[in-house]
Amino acid sequence: MAAPSWSERVRELLKRMNNFHEPGSSQGRCLPFLVAGQRVGSVPAPVAQRLQGYPAVFSVCPEPGRVELHPDLVTPPQRTAAVGQVLGELRELGAFPCLREWRDEHYEVRQRFWDPPLFSMERAATALLGVRCYGAHVNGYTWRGDQLCMWLGRRALTKPTYPGQLDNLAAGGIAVGLGVRETLLKECQEEACIPPALAAQARPVGTISYTYEDSRGIFPECQFVFDLELPEAFKPRVGDGEMQEFYLLGLDEVKEAIASRDFKPNCALVALDFLIRHGHIQPNHEPHYPELIEGLHRPL
């Protein structure tokens, strides 16, 4: 049997990263998660069942199916404290695998990115409630003569998720108290030792969105994407230990890496978006061109 083509492998990657939309997913069995009447997530049935044990915080209504924060929790600080107490107890009980990745980092929960946050919660637990998370990813590139090359990093072996896999030049989730650009500057400095004055030259070029599920829960994610042209003489350096090494690769090498299992999946999508936008993947030569683009922009 012939090995799968590049197109087939990338289509499979896109299906994995959007498997919540695929037949056989848990989507039809999830309960909407509402806060102050606003839907902000999707709760898997086993999680909803466990949350029934905390009626002072979560109201689980089988008919009509939904999970709500208790209406007595009126302010964001009240909600944050109450949810945090429940999650901390579930962590101590070893109730769900994702809680073993506890980071002591909070993400804001809201219906839309520009809305005021309704509360904040531990990053590792967001998959339990299926709330949307946001991040900032940087494509670093350099011209060598007339050849366009990309900088990729390799994640440290100590990372709790996807250790040792390829990654974008810099990337990180948008935590409480940080905006998109602040996150961009922070991650560039910490992960790749890129000076703020240089990182500030990064151009916003759009977003990618996808929703996948695995044994940890549901992951609706939206990544703000930036392109940063680096001087040919500049070489990123390992900073806070999130990365172990950086590579400068030609676009053909990046294209092949995207289709491999060596690339952190969501970061592979960011690199794929770069190749499409810079014309390295062309509709005349890629029969599944529309499908590739659609797979990069599938909100929950």
Q: What pLDDT, on the 0 to 100 scale, is given for residue 14?
A: 98
Angle 6-17/251-258 helices, nearest 10 degrees? Answer: 60
Q: What is the distance between the alpha carbons of residues 228 and 245, in angstroms, rounded to a whole number?
A: 19
The CATH class, in words, for 26-129 is: alpha beta
Q: How confident is the model at residue 1 (pLDDT cuts 50, 70, 90)?
A: confident
Residue 169 is classified by DSSP as S
- Integer-rounded Cα radius of gyration of the chain: 20
Element at 146 (helix H, strand E): none
6-20+133-295, what's its fold? Nucleoside Triphosphate Pyrophosphohydrolase (3.90.79)
Q: What pLDDT, on the 0 to 100 scale, is given for residue 3?
A: 83
Q: What's the start-to-end Cα distance of the chain, in Å?
A: 36
Residue 112 is classified by DSSP as S
The string of pLDDT tens digits covering residues 148-199 is 999 999 999 998 889 999 999 999 999 999 999 999 999 999 999 999 999 9
Q: How confident is the model at residue 62 (pLDDT cuts 50, 70, 90)?
A: confident
- β-bridge mates for residue 39, sequence order: 34
Mean pLDDT, the chain, integer: 96
- pLDDT of residue 240 exceeding 90: no
64-77 as b/e: b if 16+ CB within 10 A: eebbbbeeebeebe
Residues above pLDDT 70, as percent of the chain: 100
Q: What is the distance between the alpha carbons of residues 121 and 17, in angstroms, rounded to a whole number?
A: 23
CB 267 within 8 A of CB 171: yes
For the chain, which residues make up each domain, given as ranges? Answer: 6-20+133-295, 26-129
Q: What is the distance between the alpha carbons of residues 8 and 288, in angstroms, rounded to a whole number?
A: 9
Element at 102 (helix H, strand E): none
Residues above pLDDT 90, as percent of the chain: 94
Q: What pLDDT, on the 0 to 100 scale, is given for residue 151?
A: 98
3-state secondary structure of 243: strand
- Structure tokens given for 85: 């107490």
- pLDDT of residue 24 exceeding 80: yes
